[in-house]
Amino acid sequence: MQDRKNFAFASRNQNHSVRPATDADHRQAALTVGELARKLGAALEGDADRELTSAAALDAAGPRDLTFAGAPKLFEKARSSPACVIAPPEYTAAPGQTVLRAIEPRVLFAQALRWLYPEAPFRPGVHASAVVLSAVAADQLEIGAHAVIGENCVIGPGSRIGAGVSIG
């Protein structure tokens, strides 16, 4: 593991020091299709105990993925997918396929993403690979990997600057 040191910089009026963020701060959650159906209020057909760990596009989805088929032109591809499919009522599932029914599959899929990829808890810190150039910043902030904060930037308290973001 890379050695991480506390990050310190000076603003016009005071010194600031924050702890480095870790790469493991954000993880996706694993949950069963049954749990997801209950959280979303969706009708479930198939294996309620099947575990989902991620979401994927219909043509790239695997057996532990969630995907959706919102239009009839996608139904044939969806029937051959090993993933759990969110589909409208008119969709005819393949034998043994796990399906969540929704009038608007795209909307339900977007809601499901919140459960599969929960927001990471706020962790004040500056990633070791971030670059901060004499920026004025508050003590309570989070700066992600490879972020760049240019000169004369003011970052307010509670701010979260994501990985790869460049400001200033």
> Where exactly are the structural domains of the chain?
31-116, 121-167
pLDDT number for residue 7: 39
Q: Partners of 142 in the beta sheet?
A: 125, 160
CA quadruple 82, 84, 88, 89: dihedral, nearest 10: 90
pLDDT band for position 137 (50/70/90)? low
97 CB neighbour count, 10 Å cutoff: 20
CA distance 110 to 114: 7
pLDDT band for position 3 (50/70/90)? very low
Distance of CA 35 to the CA centre of its chain: 18
- Topology of the domain comprising 31-116: 3.40.1390
Q: By mean pLDDT, which of 10-14, 34-38, 62-66, 83-87 is the weakest?
A: 10-14
Q: Which two tokens stand for residue 77?
A: 């591809």
